[in-house]
Amino acid sequence: MVEPWTALGVALLKDLVFKDVLLELGKGALEDYVKDFFKDCIKGVETCHGTSLLKKALGEALQQFLKIVEDELEFGCNLSGAEIRDGYEIAIEKFIRHQEVKPLLGQAFAKDCRVIDSKQLGKIWRQHYPQAMPTEFDWNGVAKEYVKEVKRIIKQSPELRAILELELQESIEKNTKEIAGISPDFNLKAYQEGLQERYANLNLDSLDTSVYDYREKLKVWQVFIAQNVRECKEFVPQVYEIPKEHQRRLRESNELEAEVDLEAWERYKEVYYEQPVRPILDVVNEIWQYDSHRYLVILGDPGSGKSIFLQYLALNWARSPLDNVIELPIPLLIELRTYNRDRNSGECQDLLEFFHKGNVICRLNQHQLQEKLKAGKVLVMFDGLDEVFEPTQREKVITDIHRFTNEYPKVRVIVTSRIIGYKHQRLRDAKFRHFLLQDLESEQIQDFIYRWHELTFTDEADKERKRERLQRAIDTSKAIGELAGNPLLLTMMAILNRNQELPRDRPELYNQASRVLLHQWDVERKLLADPRVDVVAIDYKDKQAILRQIAYFMQAADKGLAGNLIRGSDLERILTGYLKSVEVSNPRTIARLLIEQLRGRNFILCFLGGDSYGFVHRTFLEYFCASEFVERFSKRGIEGGLTLEELKTEVFGKHWQDESWHEVLRLIAGMIDTSFAGELIDYLMTLDGEEEKFINLFLAAECLSDVRNPAAIPSTAAKLLQQLYELMDYGSFLSVVRSDVDIEYNNTVTQIHTQAVAAVAVTWKDDPNTLPWLKQQVQAERNGTVRYAAVAEIARGWKNDPNTLPWLKQQVYLLKQQLQTNHFKIVRRAVVQEIARGWKDEPDTLPLLKQWAQADEDWVVRAAAVQELARGWKEEPETLVILKQRVQVDNHEYVRRVAICELARGWKNEPDSLTILKQRVQVDNHEYVRRVAICELARGWKNEPDSLAILKQRLQVDESATVRYAAVQQIARGWKDDPDTLPLLKQWVQADDSAAVRQAAVQELARGWKDDSKTLPLLKQKVHKDDDCDVRYAAVQELARGWKDEPDTLPLLKQRAQTDDYYDVRRLAIEELAHGWKDEAWMLEFLCNRVLNDPFERKEDSENNPRQLALAIIIKQYPNHPQTLPLLNDRAENDSDEQLREWARKKLVELTDGRGVLHTP
Domain presence at residue 688: yes
pLDDT tens sequence across 116-136: 888 888 888 887 887 788 878
SS3 at position 4: strand
Give yes or no: residues 1043 and 1088 share one domain. no
Q: Which of 1042, 1077, 1112 is the last residue of a domain?
A: 1077
Q: What is the mean pLDDT of residues 903-924?
A: 91
Q: Which of 151, 178, 205 is the last residue of a domain?
A: 178
Q: What is the mean pLDDT of residues 691-697?
A: 92
pLDDT over 70 (residue 1141): yes
- The DSSP result for 309-337, as a single string, is HHHHHHHHHHTS-HHHHTTSPEEEEEEHH
Please, are residues 1158 and 1152 in contact by the beta-carbon 8 Å criterion? yes
Give yes or no: residues 532 and 648 share one domain. no
SS3 at position 535: coil
Give yes or no: residues 103 and 164 share one domain. yes
What CATH number is associated with residue 1060?
1.25.40
pLDDT over 80 (residue 104): yes
Give yes or no: residues 105 and 144 share one domain. yes
What CATH number is associated with residue 285?
3.40.50
Q: Which of 727, 758, 782 is the last residue of a domain?
A: 727
pLDDT tens sequence across 981-1023: 999 999 999 988 889 999 999 999 998 898 899 999 999 999 9
Domain presence at residue 561: yes
Highest-confidence segment of 221-235, 1012-1026, 1138-1152? 1012-1026
Give yes or no: residues 651 and 720 share one domain. yes
* Percent of all residues in the chain with a pLDDT value above 90, rounded to a whole number: 38
* Selection from 227, 237, 228, 229 nearest residue 272 by Cα: 237
* Percent of all residues in the chain with a pLDDT value above 70, rounded to a whole number: 86
* pLDDT top residue among 1074 and 607: 1074
Give yes or no: residues 1072 and 1110 share one domain. no
C-alpha 86/C-alpha 81 separation (Å) is 9
Report the number of secondary-structure helices (H) and strands (E) in the chain: 59, 12
Give yes or no: residues 615 and 659 share one domain. no
* pLDDT top residue among 596 and 1134: 1134
Give yes or no: residues 409 and 276 share one domain. yes
Give yes or no: residues 54 and 116 share one domain. yes
**Average pLDDT of the chain, as a whole number:** 84
pLDDT of res. 836: 93
pLDDT tens sequence across 789-801: 999 999 988 988 9
C-alpha 1109/C-alpha 1117 separation (Å) is 12
Name the residue range of residue 154's domain: 3-178
pLDDT tens sequence across 1098-1118: 998 888 999 999 999 999 999
Q: What is the mean pLDDT of residues 246-265?
A: 54
Q: Are strands 605-609 and 228-231 parallel, antiparallel or unpaired?
A: unpaired
Which of 731-735, 976-980, 986-990 has the weakest average pLDDT?
731-735
* pLDDT top residue among 543 and 446: 446
Task: Write out the H or E segment, with its range, that includes residue 231.
Answer: strand 228-231
Chain centre distance of CA 289: 21
* Selection from 659, 657, 663, 635 nearest residue 647 by Cα: 635
pLDDT over 50 (residue 1122): yes
pLDDT over 70 (residue 5): no
Count of structural domains, the chain? 6
What CATH number is associated with residue 592?
1.10.10
pLDDT tens sequence across 659-684: 888 989 999 999 999 999 999 999 99
pLDDT tens sequence across 499-514: 777 776 778 888 887 8
Give yes or no: residues 1058 and 1157 share one domain. no
Domain presence at residue 779: no
Domain presence at residue 183: no
pLDDT of res. 218: 83
Domain presence at residue 1050: yes
Residue 531 banded pLDDT, cuts 50, 70, 90: low
Degrees to nearest 5, angle at CA 826 with 822 and 832:
140
pLDDT over 50 (residue 364): yes
pLDDT of res. 522: 58
Domain presence at residue 796: no
pLDDT of res. 181: 41
pTM attached to this predicted model: 0.68
- Give 1158's DSSP letter: B
C-alpha 482/C-alpha 485 separation (Å) is 6
pLDDT of res. 815: 63
- Neighbour count for residue 773 (Cβ, 10 Å): 17
Q: Please, what is the angle between helix 674-686 and helix 714-727, to 10°?
A: 30
Domain presence at residue 819: no
The neighbouring-strand residues paired with 230 are 277, 436
Give yes or no: residues 1063 and 1144 share one domain. no
pLDDT tens sequence across 1053-1087: 999 999 999 999 999 999 999 988 988 999 999 99
Give yes or no: residues 999 and 1092 share one domain. no
Domain presence at residue 821: no
Tell me phi and psi for residue 1087, to 5 degrees: -65, -40
